[in-house]
Structure 1
Amino acid sequence: MGTALRALAAILPDQRGFLFPWAPVCLACGIGFYFALRVEPPVAALWLAALSGAALVGLGLRANAVAGPLLIAAGLVAAGLALAGARSHTVAGPLLDFRYYGPIQGRVVGIDRSASDAVRLTLDWVVLDRMAPADTPARVRVALHGQQGYADPAPGATVILTGHLSAPGGAAEPGGFDFRRHAWFLRLGAVGYTRTPVLLLEPPQGGQWVFRARMWLSERVKRTLPGETGAFAAAVMTGDRSGMGQATLDQLRDTNLAHLIAISGLHMGLLAGTVFAALRLGLLLIPAVRLTWPVKKLAAAGALLAAAGYLALSGGNVATERAFVMAAVALLAVMLDRRALSLRAVALAALIILSLRPEALLGPGFQMSFAATTALVAVFEALSRADGLQRAPRWLRPVLSLVISSAVAGAATAPIAMAHFNQVAHYGLLANLVSVPVMGAVVVPMAVLSAVLLPLGLDWIALWIMGLGLDWILAVAHHVAQWDGAVGAVVAPGPAVLPLIAAAGLIAAIWRGRGRAAAALPLAVAAGLWMSAERPALLVAEDGGLVGILTPEGRALSRDRGSGFVAGIWLENDGQGGDQAGAAARWPGQNADRIARASLGGVEIVHLQGKRAAAAFAGCTPGAIVVATVDLPAMTGCTVFDPKTLRATGAVAFWDNKGALRFDSVTARSGQRLWHGAGPAPLRLAKAQ
């Protein structure tokens, strides 16, 4: 311990003045620790963490140069744990614990589109048949299938429909993305679908003004610019992506251009920069103002107001809130005569966002945004100190800045995108180089101009020019996505890979001095773990509707249709891609009469699909694994996964452990947490001896 303290005493003085960017890192460690717990901590433990965090930070502020940073770091870790727990309890609400079919009534508070290209409604003020208000979910989300008589539900309208609801599903496999946790923080207590028309019960009665204005503007834009161009423009201006087709979204993802439709740092920065430049230029043209007023600060204030308006109009999702906070920090720095872009500003934005929405840490949006911003600030600060860009000809500097920023942002976000989405866009850098300038020079300025011209009814002029820029971006996405090898599949990494990559990036970007070379160690470990990542030999869906066996040719599926969402996730995580029908053709055994049989390491695997298959099943062989979509009677000598069993285990995986199969389940991985219907653990105190 003494040696470690002496080493810290020698290192920390060199980092003086550069320690603040580590504050959100420590806060994030506490948040990550909370979400990694398998048992919900008691409320008293959260209060203890909050109080001890405050005490440690207070002591650290008074301590010496060595103990002070360590105490503050420990206090921030404790505070992160407390913040995440408090947020989880704040958004708590009833979860539907059974399959519901019947009338669903509620107020429309959200409209978007599902992965299957169906329009979805998010409803609050929910009323369900024969359910007490205290047990009714605060919000539900319903996908609209079939013919819809009321095709365009108005924001704020009260609607009624007949549909199916159930609790949000868990992870598709152990260790996978937990949609139930994601839905918890969206306050969704149930999700489902309807195949019957949605009926208007009451028109909007007031309230939801911002949402209604947002959807009104979206419809106006789509009437002016029909087709995918108008839907793209509506997404950029209002965040409404419900009009965009799945094929267009896939092409944008395959070319690494999907970030252009999400209102994030790029859009907020371009809008704030456009407004700032226009206001500053306009004020400078007035001699009396130019000589007497603080033009730069006034322009920054105007840009901040415009950014706030954009945040409200766009729906205020997590990505947009994050972008607004970062833009606001930069603009306030201008108003206070501070550097607009620095690692301190990025750290302050991260602290604000993590304090307000700790769950954002787990999302790819937060991770990719701050990875790109941190890397860009660090690289351009280094170039500025070395006068790197100043040595190039003046006409070449903007081109070099674009190439460097695209390359740095792409390199910083690529591992995160690969880990979350299991694919890499090989031509993404090229697509961004020819699309981002159009976004900055044409699309966003015309979006701002259209808002200025809207009261005069002349917004169509700016929208027409904006449409030309969007047509170019869509054409780039369409053509580049068709190139051979445009998309590569990537196997899902283990849970330690992304934290190790983040640690390497943070050391390289924030640390000062020769210690930066230490970033190579966690990066090398992460690369080794990722390259050696193994996939389960057997996967079972949480409803028993699909079974997947890993063969030398890739994942083989027991069905060619049904459970398509789960099938897609499994194939993506395997790093092989492809479609469900192709994977079903690889099934290594018999598959007839809705009974799929196969052998895995000498163990018979049987998948019974439906009541008839279960009734025709003669019995299992010793040691067999039987999966069924309906409850089965008790069987001896084999392992059965029917709906009753799977409700307790969630999705199941078996790993090949030197010829033997090792069992794993979603429930075992995720534990007893609030979003799985478990209450907080009681506080256990040791008895006095």
Structure 2
Amino acid sequence: MGSGARGAHIIHGSGRQGEGRLMLAAGSVAFLAGILLLHHLPALPPAGALGLAAGLAATAAGAAFALRRRRVRAAALALCAAAAAGFAWALADALAGRGRALDPALEGRDLVLEGTVAGLPEPRPAGVRFRFRPARVVDAATGAVVALPGDVRLAWFGRPPPLVPGERWRLRARLRRPAGFFNPGGFRYEDWLHRHRYAATGYVRGGGRRLAPARGHRIDRLRLHLRERLRAALGPGGTALLGPLTALALGDRSGMTPAQWAVLRATGTGHLMAISGLHVGLVAGMALAACAGLWRRVPWLARRWPARLPASVAGLAAGAGYAALAGFSVPTRRALVMLAVGLAVLATGRGRSSAHALGLALLAVLLLDPRAVLDPGLWLSFGAVAVIVLAA
């Protein structure tokens, strides 16, 4: 079988089974197109459009099923249903997110926030930035309790006390709605804030009071502990190494210096400091290879279960553990979903096509987070894999 025939077999499979796999991949792309359509509209449609899109998806899906014997028409209707479903899914997520934004009337006012430190605090030369999850918000001027249904990204300037994930604090702060400069073709801070589901940004005024010690948030507390252990182990002379080490081990890039970022930008290697599919895949691959090798050295185990089963579990466990240490950031969650789908195909050993696995992974990522289309990493990850599949 020539290389072109092998590539066609990988992508299409054979017979009706191959057609079904190709349709799943095409349906995932149509679902993606529906999400993109929403994000390219100049304004968010009203809530009533959600019912219309969902109704269109259901109608097209029903028509595709009724005309299933006419393959071309059924396929076209199924793709229309997938696109309408993607539009409806993204619109539902966007409408829910709009309800989590800060009330414009509260911008610039002193607010008293009681809540929990969430995530790993990010030390800065001028202070610290951190994610805060308010449980109660009070207008300092009127004493009225106000609604803030979402996390806020706070800056605490000066010499703030050490913050530990899971601690409960009372803070006086000023907030504003997520905003940033319009930057066509480049990084947009406002998109980044929406992507990470922040309801507001702001800064602490006049200090704060710790109400309770850290509870829960065990993974983030472990990450903080490991960061401090690395800092202590490197000592004052290892400051230059601390940033890259914590970035690669814990997904914490707050220790990177401007000079280090300048070198990475000049060499085009800045993406290596963002834990993503490359890093998660390497860790999972090493665990998978090690487990498979050890499994085959025990004859009675190898005869009872094929090595691919425990190796897939070991690879997924290692990838999930590394993603947890990285704080389950947006790129690591996406990489973990792709890894899980790929290892599931490997573990079942049913020889499913690469396009089928790629389509499943894309659909899973978009169902879990329709805002993933705003992340350039999604396009780089799936685009690179798609090129490899087509060129195989």
- The alignment status of 1:55 with 2:67, answered yes or no, reads no
1:38-437 residue pairs with structure 2 within 5 A?
38-61=42-65, 62-91=68-97, 92-97=99-104, 98-101=107-110, 103-111=112-120, 113=122, 119-125=128-134, 127-128=137-138, 129=140, 130=142, 132-136=144-148, 138-146=150-158, 148-150=159-161, 152-172=162-182, 179-194=189-204, 199-204=209-214, 206-225=215-234, 226-339=238-351, 342-379=354-391, 381=392
Q: Is the 8 A contact 1:115 1:246 kept in 2?
A: no
Report the Cα offset of residue 156 of structure 1. Answer: 0.9
CA positional deviation for 1:323: 0.3
Gaps in structure 2 of 5+ consecutive residues: 1-15
TM-score, length-scaled by structure 1? 0.49
Deviations 1:552-604 (A, max 9, x none): xxxxxxxxxxxxxxxxxxxxxxxxxxxxxxxxxxxxxxxxxxxxxxxxxxxxx
Q: 8 Å contact 1:99–1:166 — kept in the other structure?
A: yes
**1:222, 1:264 → 2: CA distance?**
24
| CA pair 260-290 structure 1, distance change in 2 beyond 3 A | same
Alignment of 1:640-651 (within 5 A): none
Q: What value does the CA root-mean-square deviation take over the aligned residues?
A: 2.9
Structure 1 Cα separation of the partners of residues 145 and 240 of structure 2: 41
**Greater displacement, 15-24 / 258-267:** 15-24
Residues 251 and 58 of structure 1: is their aligned pair in 2 closer, same or farther, counting only changes over 3 Å?
A: farther
Within 5 A, what are the aligned runs for 1:618-637? none
**1:261 to partner: Cα distance:** 1.9
**Contact conserved, 1:149 with 1:199, CA < 8 A, in 2?**
no
Pick from 23, 31, 42 the counterpart of residue 27 of structure 2.
23
TM-score with structure 2 setting the length: 0.82
Equivalents in 1 of 2:183, 2:319: separation in Å?
40
| SS of match in other structure, 2:71 | coil
**2: distance between equivalents of 1:138 and 1:350?**
27
Q: Deviations over 1:29-78 (max 9, x none)?
A: 11111122234323232122123213323432425221122111111110
Secondary structure at 1:263 match in 2 = coil
Structure 2 counterpart of 1:183, one-letter code:
L
CA contact (8 A) 1:122 1:139 kept: yes
Identify if the C-alpha distance between structure 1 residues 119 and 185 changes in structure 2 by more than 3 Å, giving closer, same or farther.
Answer: same
Contact 1:222–1:234 (8 Å) recurs in 2: no
User: How far off is 1:159 after superposition?
Assistant: 2.9
Does the Cα contact within 8 Å between 1:96 and 1:189 map onto a contact in 2? no
Distance change (3 Å), C-alpha of 1:274 and 1:362: same
**Partner SS state of residue 66, structure 1:** helix
Q: CA deviation at 1:341?
A: 7.8
Amino acid at match of 2:313: A
173 and 350 in structure 1: CA distance in 2 versus 1, 3 angstrom threshold: closer
- Kindly tell me the number of residue pairs found equivalent between the two proteins: 364
Structure with greater Cα Rg: 1
Counterpart-to-counterpart distance in 1, 2:360 and 2:298: 36
- Does the aligned pair in 1 maintain the 2:220–2:327 contact within 8 Å? yes
SS in 2 for 1:122: strand
Q: Deviations over 1:604-652 (max 9, x none)?
A: xxxxxxxxxxxxxxxxxxxxxxxxxxxxxxxxxxxxxxxxxxxxxxxxx
Tell me how far 1:183 sits from its aligned partner: 2.7
Aligned-residue sequence identity (percent) comes to: 34
Distance in 2 of aligned mates of 1:291 and 1:337:
16
The amino acid of 2:102's aligned partner reads: L
**Residues 88 and 185 in structure 1, CA contact (< 8 A), matched pair in contact too:** no
Distance 1:199 1:246 in 2: 33
Shift in Å at residue 103 of structure 1? 4.7
Equivalent-residue separation in structure 1 for 2:175 and 2:92 (angstroms): 28
Higher relative contact order (CA 8 A, sep 6+): 2
Q: Which runs of 5+ in 1 are unaligned?
A: 1-12, 382-689
Rounded Cα–Cα distance in structure 2 between residues aligned with 1:86 and 1:290: 48
Give 1:258's aligned amino acid: G
Is this contact kept in 2: 1:114–1:143, CA < 8 A? no
Matched, 1:34 2:38: yes
1:218 maps to a residue whose letter is: R
CA contact (8 A) 2:111 2:137 kept: no
Amino acid at match of 2:96: T
